[in-house]
Amino acid sequence: MTEHPTRAILEQACAAVGISSAQAEVISLGENAIYRLAPAIVARISRPGQLEVARREITVSRWLESTGTPAVRVLGDVDDQPVLIGDRPVTFWHELPPHTNSSPATVARALRRLHSLPPPRTGIPTLDPFARLDRRIDAATSLNNNDRDWMRARLDTLRHRWSDTRTGRPLCAIHGDAHDGNIVTASTGEPIIIDLERFSIGPPEWDLTQTAVDYKTCGWISRQRYTEFVDTYGYDVTQAPDFELFRDIREFRMTAWLAQQAAEKPHLRDQARHRVECLRGSHGTRPWTGWKAQY
């Protein structure tokens, strides 16, 4: 088996901070490479050019720890993080306890707590709901040129609409990509916030929209589950002044991400085309059937 190129980066980063990489095991090799080290330490190798994002993750983790919020914890024994190897930032974390994806109500409970916190004064940027979308569209080579041109035009329209956004609730610290896989549940029942890449200062409606999309667009959760989400958080984002805009951007992000993945994973190509067709109005009104949640 060919050694993955991130293995050499891992070894250099571990040597730089005095942690052994001898027992390193792959957890995942996606946009970020994640390895388990002994004992109970995880190394995360970010994409090239993502130094500021990695720094944000460190800042957010330390801030959440200071507030007593259960979240992925940066390894305190390594003060000078991220470690930069070439153009790849490497960070070190405590391994999470056994956990599962969360129910909508558990996601709502974690978000209600997060959104109530006084935000940190520095280190967290304003939400950019369009981060990396240009690159995702360019990389979506499994789509035909007509669909990619439509996506570029649609992105321009969404950006224009965002400039006039009206929110009903005060800006706060938000997760930025809040869903049942990024707010997990420990065996104790406690929600744990993970994947801190998109943490921002922004409208709390943004964090609530994904679950609303899971219900109203994709049909992935039942009315009862969505009602539990709303009741737990205490607010229904579908009643927000600009919910349709939040929804449209979130659907677009889900589609652009999958279309990029489909360029390298042929089994995703039909799903990517189906999502684009839905956005373009070829499959009627929501909820749209055929959106698959797992890959």
Q: How confident is the model at residue 294 (pLDDT cuts 50, 70, 90)?
A: low
| 128 and 64 Cβ atoms separated by less than 8 Å | no
Q: How confident is the model at residue 118 (pLDDT cuts 50, 70, 90)?
A: very high
DSSP-assigned letter for residue 71? B
Q: How confident is the model at residue 98 (pLDDT cuts 50, 70, 90)?
A: very high
Residue 2 three-state SS = coil
148: which 2 tokens?
A: 């990619």
Residues 123 and 267 in one domain: yes
Residue 35 has pLDDT above 70, yes or no: yes
**pLDDT for the residue numbered 3:** 65
**pLDDT for the residue numbered 201:** 96
What is the domain count for the chain? 2
228: which 2 tokens?
A: 């539990």
| Percent of the chain predicted with pLDDT > 90 | 87
Domain assignment present for residue 261? The answer is: yes
φ, ψ of residue 174 in degrees (nearest 5): -125, 155
**Which structural domain, as residue segments, surrounds residue 151?**
101-279
* CATH code, domain with 106: 3.90.1200.10
Residue 266 has pLDDT above 70, yes or no: yes
Residues 90 and 105 in one domain: no
Residue 148 has pLDDT above 90, yes or no: yes
Domain assignment present for residue 210? The answer is: yes
φ, ψ of residue 172 in degrees (nearest 5): -155, 180
Residues 87 and 184 in one domain: no
Average pLDDT rounded to a whole number, residues 163-182: 90
* CATH code, domain with 58: 3.30.200.20
What is the C-alpha to C-alpha distance for residues 248 and 257, in angstroms, rounded to an integer? 14
Residues 49 and 112 in one domain: no
The residue out of 95, 120, 150 marking a domain boundary is 95
Average pLDDT rounded to a whole number, residues 290-294: 86
**pLDDT for the residue numbered 1:** 39
The residue out of 95, 111, 135 marking a domain boundary is 95
Domain assignment present for residue 293? The answer is: no
Residues 232 and 123 in one domain: yes
From the centroid of its chain, how far is CA 160? 23
**pLDDT for the residue numbered 122:** 80
What is the C-alpha to C-alpha distance for residues 139 and 152, in angstroms, rounded to an integer? 12
Residue 249 exposure: Cα atoms within 13 Å on the Cβ side: 27
Average pLDDT rounded to a whole number, residues 288-293: 92
**pLDDT for the residue numbered 295:** 60
Residue 2 has pLDDT above 60, yes or no: no
Question: pLDDT per residue over 58-86, tens digit each?
Answer: 999 999 999 999 999 999 988 889 999 99
| Rg of the chain, C-alpha, whole Å | 20
Domain assignment present for residue 49? The answer is: yes
Predicted TM-score (pTM) of this structure:
0.93
